[in-house]
Amino acid sequence: MKIFTYNVNSVNARLPLILEWFEETQPDVCALQELKCLDEKFPYEPFERLGYNAAVHGQKTWNGVALLSKQPLIDVVRGLPGEPEDEQSRYIEAVVDGSVPVRVTSIYLPNGNPIGTDKYPYKHRWYKRLQARAKEILAFEEISVLSGDFNTIPTKSDLYRESAWLDDALYQPETRAAYQSLKNLGYSDACDLMPPEGNRYTFWDYQAGAWQKNEGIRIDHHLLSPQAADRLKSFEIHKDARGRTHDDAKPSDHVPVGVELDV
């Protein structure tokens, strides 16, 4: 089973590029983030034509997450408990129904910048809520994959130049510790288990020629339960997606990141 995560940075604005990638790659499951549309505005029909079932948790203008699967999606969970007033659509979870069920998520963790605003404590409240749910998922003892844009740079190896990120919410010690706490529960970062040769980056900013200068960071991750980690066959980053265009559609600033499990 091939499971990808892909922050598309507006699913409708980049639909031709996204569909082209889906046709080429044929992922079994794909977690999308930053849809930037309401549920009813999600392009269900083009994905259905390609053979995908969709579970969507959208939001007007901002955020939004989805799961696309060739197999039916059951037990769909939209949103994280713990902060009832939080209306941001950043989490969806489901079980891929099959002979061997697999629990998957699409996570769009808050950015947290600027640090001196209420966005930073919100990021860490959200992280605590994710940690609580991640712990519950582990107790199921299932093949589970927490996939998404974590807006977290885990280590110095995951950025082009550390000095440029020391004041950024994505690389604060508290942020990296929150990500590590998920691993401490018993999850494994697929990139750690199978480090790629060459490129580790999954995001290149649109500004200052970051893509052309290869000034990237790794913030899109797959965290595997022990049952999933035991079945990991491969890990891949589709860097070439960052340089593609299609008619008037420009690429997302993120690229697809995938794992293959022996399922």
Q: What does the alpha-carbon distance between residue 43 and residue 48 come to, in Å, rounded to a whole number?
A: 9
pLDDT tens digits, 202-214: 999 999 999 999 9
Gap between the terminal Cα atoms of the chain: 6
Q: Cβ(65)–Cβ(39) under 8 Å?
A: no
Q: How far is CA 130 from the centre of its chain?
A: 13
Report residue 213 CA to chain centroid gap: 24
Q: Which domains does the chain have, with CATH numbers?
A: 2-261 (3.60.10.10)
Cross-strand partners of 77: 93
- Measured distance CA(113)–CA(220) in Å, rounded: 17
Instruction: Work out the percent of the chain whose per-residue pLDDT is above 90.
Output: 97
The SS3 of residue 80 is coil
Binding residues for Mg(2+): 7, 34, 149, 151, 253-254
Please state, in angstroms and as integers, the Cα–Cα distance from residue 124 to each residue in 12, 92, 105, 212, following that order: 30, 18, 19, 32
pLDDT of 50 > 90? The answer is yes
Order across the sheet with 102-108: list the strands. 73-78, 91-96, 102-108, 143-149, 220-224, 188-189
CA distances from 230 to 180, 221, 233 (A): 20, 17, 9
Confidence of residue 114 (pLDDT cuts 50, 70, 90): very high
Is residue 246 very low, low, confident or very high in pLDDT (cuts 50, 70, 90)?
A: confident
Q: Which amino acid makes up residue 183?
A: K
Alpha-carbon distance of 98 to 96, in angstroms, equals 6
d(CA 93, CA 48): 19
What is the predicted pLDDT for the residue at 32?
Answer: 99
What are the binding residues? 7, 34, 149, 151, 253-254
Residue type, 81: P
β-strand partners of 105:
93
The whole-angstrom separation of Cα 125 and Cα 253 is 26
Q: Six-digit token pair at 84?
A: 């009832």
Residue 177 has pLDDT above 90, yes or no: yes
Ordered DSSP codes for 212-245: TTT-EE--EEEEE-HHHHTTEEEEEE-GGGGG--
- Residue 173: its pLDDT value, please? 98
What does 37-71 look like in DSSP terms, one character per residue?
S-GGGS-HHHHHHTT-EEEEE--SSS--EEEEESS
In the chain, the amino acid numbered 103 is R
Q: What's the pLDDT tens digit per position in 18-28? A: 999 999 999 99
Active site residues: 108, 149, 254
What is the rounded distance in angstroms from the CA atom of residue 244 to the CA atom of residue 20? 10
Is the per-residue pLDDT at 247 higher than 90?
Answer: no
| Mean pLDDT value across residues 147-165 | 98
Residue 248 pLDDT > 90, yes or no? no
